[in-house]
Amino acid sequence: MEKMTQLKPLIEVSGFSFDYEQLDEPLISEVSFTLNEGETTLLMGPSGSGKSSISLCLNGLYPDAVEGASSGDIFFKGQNIKQFDKGQLNQHIGIVFQDPESQFCMITVENELAFTLENIQTPREEIETKIDQILESVEMLDYKYSNIHELSGGQKQKIALASVLLLEPELLILDEPTANLDPVSSLEFIELIKTINETTNKTVLIIEHQADDWLSFTDRVLVLNINGQLIANEEAETLFNRQKQLLENEGVFIPKAYQDEITHPSSKVNHSSTELCLTINNLTFKRKKQTILTNLNMQLNKGEMVAIVGENGAGKSTLLQLMAGILKPKCGDITFLNESLTKWKEQELRQHMGFVFQNPEHQFITDTVYDEVSFGMRLNDYDEKAIKERTDNLLSHFQLSNHKWNNPFSLSGGQKRRLSVATMLDETPDLLLFDEPTFGQDAKTTNELMNIVKDLQSRGTTIVFVTHDMDLVDLYCDQVYVINNHKLAFDGQPHKLWEQTELIKDARLRLPVRLDRVQKVGETYDLVH
Ligand SMILES: Nc1ncnc2c1ncn2[C@@H]1O[C@H](COP(=O)(O)OP(=O)(O)OP(=O)(O)O)[C@@H](O)[C@H]1O
Ligand SMILES: Nc1ncnc2c1ncn2[C@@H]1O[C@H](COP(=O)(O)OP(=O)(O)OP(=O)(O)O)[C@@H](O)[C@H]1O
């Protein structure tokens, strides 16, 4: 891509440090870098390294909005950001937060977008057209009058982006923007950002754990390490070719095009028995008048690991909540361990079944990370010594020991996800339902999380997870279910699904990387096995 020959700095960060009062060590340590006008920069680093925090410092929201302090300087177009009025920088530097829910103020999609436009004094007669145009560009026009809180996770993410794009900021910061998008929406989203970057010369900063799909228009990659130091600031090609080991040690995902080996699922061990764990018979589910699922039948065996996949809004989370007994079907029946879900007592059901919500915050109920993990053990009357031992063990497994006494809401996105999983492991459940288990995780924590899940599976737990990550399905699952057009469109082993070209297209999925044609720097090779 042709970029401007004369690089003009938009943001200059100079010897910048930042710390939260709550943390023992400074989070960001004397970092310096420049974001030039029109450039696209990727910011990578392990979970908890401070990526979201530094991006909130760039638009002046932090340190004022939190109990924290900074030193060093940040300049926007040559002017120190301390000299800008509060709120003024927001119009120049737009952030799409990691958790899109946290940025909504209004109830409906239309009102949310109108509110944004009113705030920047858009003439009344232009508002409707601008809303329609932006919704069209993120393929959400059909949801203009919807209640935002009734949208699926991926749909919320698209509305959050639309809202920030309306501000026409000069710097667009996207914090893990595709984490909840289905594979095709994710590629389309990246294409949209690429077009915006190319046609409007907007500067873009993307925070992502998996860089693969962004590389075609990334100018530079910045990498923070867990001590908040900037350990890389260079072009992707040199970085991933020359610094692979360093990045791997930090837990950073190496893009597939730069990996020597692509993991093949041959090592998968099948732990499933022929005994049934959960059965769904003729399930049909509607929300208000909208049909979500029609006539679904499923049988999950004990010790099986299965994935539910499908496009955004297909009904995956709804299905998971039905399996957990959180939603009740009006038509059809769900049987868990040979007993209809309607007959289970709530407390007993929760002892046998774990549920990890799509948004981890929805399940936090205490004030400290330690209490959150030990909560279930207390309900089950464990003695204090056993509680302490098991809780400390889980915290260490999930790399949360340093945050033991912190408030769960103050954790980073990846840490919140790990905590939400840890809270479900106070006992070995018969069934563990996960909504997007690995989103927001770096390479190391993804591996560790999946190892913990595999270990549970080997002890007989049936694992069901909703995911948009086809590599995860390929590597770990015995069975995969595809929800498409309200129906169960596929039920079988992952390698059989990869043969269903039409369905993959129709359900907006993609092939796992080992089966995709991979562009390895300088050569093209076909990895179809
Ligand atoms: N408001 C806060 N108060 C105290 N500590 C915080 C607060 N927000 C974040 N932290 C801590 O700061 C560290 C960095 O968090 P941040 O969200 O910036 O990380 P990140 O690199 O974006 O992580 P992830 O990849 O998991 O999203 C974490 O250890 C987190 O617990
Ligand atoms: N609380 C709710 N009230 C009404 N409708 C809802 C509610 N939650 C979800 N929906 C709608 O139900 C449909 C299915 O949503 P669901 O969250 O199950 O989809 P999903 O497949 O998990 O999507 P994603 O991949 O985007 O998370 C969507 O069209 C959504 O708008």
Is 80 exceeded by the pLDDT of residue 525? no
User: What is the reported pLDDT for 521?
Assistant: 36
Ligand 2 site-directed mutation target among 139, 151, 467, 508, most atoms within 8 Å of CB:
151
Residues with CB under 6 A from ligand 2: 150-155, 180, 182, 287, 292, 310, 312-318, 358
Q: Ligand 2 atom 7: the closest Cα is on which residue? A: 150
CA 412 to ligand 1 center in whole angstroms: 4
With tokens 């908040």, the residue in question is 228
User: What is the reported pLDDT for 401?
Assistant: 93
Is 90 exceeded by the pLDDT of residue 303? yes
Domains 9-255 and 273-526 share a fold: yes
259 or 206: which carries more pLDDT confidence?
206
User: What is the reported pLDDT for 266?
Assistant: 57
Using DSSP's 3-state secondary structure scheme, residue 171 falls into: strand
Which atom of ligand 1 lies nearest, measured to the CA of 50? 18
Q: Ligand 2 atom 29: the closest Cα is on which residue? A: 313
Per-residue pLDDT, averaged over 262-289, amounts to 80
Using pLDDT thresholds of 50, 70 and 90, give the confidence band for residue 321: very high
Is 90 exceeded by the pLDDT of residue 17? yes
Using pLDDT thresholds of 50, 70 and 90, give the confidence band for residue 293: very high
Residue-wise pLDDT for 96-113, tens only, equals 987 888 889 999 999 999
With tokens 């009734």, the residue in question is 150
Q: What is the CATH number of domain 9-255?
A: 3.40.50.300
User: What is the reported pLDDT for 526?
Assistant: 38
Specify which residues 308 forms β-bridges with: 466, 481
Residue-wise pLDDT for 334-390, tens only, equals 999 999 999 999 888 988 999 988 888 888 989 999 999 998 888 777 889 999 999
Which of 71-85, 112-126, 396-410, 506-520 has the least mean pLDDT?
Answer: 506-520
CA 259 to ligand 1 center in whole angstroms: 28
HSE at residue 176, side-chain half, CA atoms within 13 A, is 22
CA 417 to ligand 2 center in whole angstroms: 20
Is 70 exceeded by the pLDDT of residue 163? yes
User: Are the C-beta atoms of residues 439 and 417 closer than 8 Å to each other?
Assistant: yes
Q: Ligand 1 atom 28: the closest Cα is on which residue? A: 48
Ligand with smallest separation from the Cα of 53: 1
ipTM associated with this complex: 0.93
The domain made up of 273-526 has a fold known as: Rossmann fold (3.40.50)
* Cβ 106 under 6 angstroms from ligand 1: no
Q: Which of 199-203, 210-214, 440-444, 484-488 has the highest mean pLDDT?
A: 484-488
> Torsion over CA of 320, 321, 322 and 325, rounded to 10 degrees?
130
CA 50 to ligand 1 center in whole angstroms: 6
Is 80 exceeded by the pLDDT of residue 319? yes
3-state secondary structure 40-61: EEEEECCCCCCHHHHHHHHCCC
Per-residue pLDDT, averaged over 279-305, amounts to 94
Q: Which of 5-9, 267-271, 347-351 has the highest mean pLDDT?
A: 347-351
Q: In the 8-state DSSP scheme, what is residue 199?
A: H
CA 299 to ligand 1 center in whole angstroms: 40
Is 50 exceeded by the pLDDT of residue 479? yes
Using pLDDT thresholds of 50, 70 and 90, give the confidence band for residue 2: very low
Per-residue pLDDT, averaged over 207-229, amounts to 93
Quote the percentage of the chain above a pLDDT of 70.
94
> Beta strands 517-520 and 40-44: pairing type?
unpaired
Query: What is the phi/psi pair of residue 196, to 5°?
Result: -60, -45
Is 50 exceeded by the pLDDT of residue 63? yes
Using pLDDT thresholds of 50, 70 and 90, give the confidence band for residue 517: low
Q: What are the extents of the domains in the chain?
A: 9-255, 273-526
Per-residue pLDDT, averaged over 81-95, amounts to 86
User: What is the reported pLDDT for 381?
Assistant: 77
* Cβ 489 under 6 angstroms from ligand 1: no
Is 70 exceeded by the pLDDT of residue 40? yes
Q: Sign (positive/negative) of CA torsion 128, 132, 135, 137?
A: negative
Using pLDDT thresholds of 50, 70 and 90, give the confidence band for residue 134: very high
